[in-house]
Amino acid sequence: MASYRIVVDPDRCLGCGACVRACAFGVLELIDDVAYAVRPSECRGCMDCVKACEQGAIEVLLAGRESHKNPCSSPGPDGGGKRG
């Protein structure tokens, strides 16, 4: 089974809990209003947490691969974020 690493940008995380609710594997929890991967070994790489995060605060990393960011929050050509 592949091993994943979940990275949450605390400066972008609003603590809304959307990622926690989206994760069927219980990987994420809110601690002091910031999402943390408390059970990263349970991550299956489904990207549901990334898709649920409207702030683009979550990346899922696979060893030897680029990160998977929320495409709806990536900067546009003018530096502003796209909204989906």
Q: For the chain, give every domain's residue range.
A: 4-71
Q: Coil, helix or strand for 52?
A: helix
Nearest residue to 6 (alpha-carbon basis) of 46, 61, 67, 51? 61
The class (CATH top level) of 4-71 is alpha beta
Q: Check: CB of residue 62 under 8 Å from CB of residue 4.
A: yes
Q: Write down the pTM of the prediction.
A: 0.73
Over the stretch 41-82, which tens digit does the pLDDT of each residue have? 999 999 999 999 999 999 999 855 655 555 444 444 444 443
Over the stretch 8-37, which tens digit does the pLDDT of each residue have? 999 999 999 999 999 999 999 999 999 999
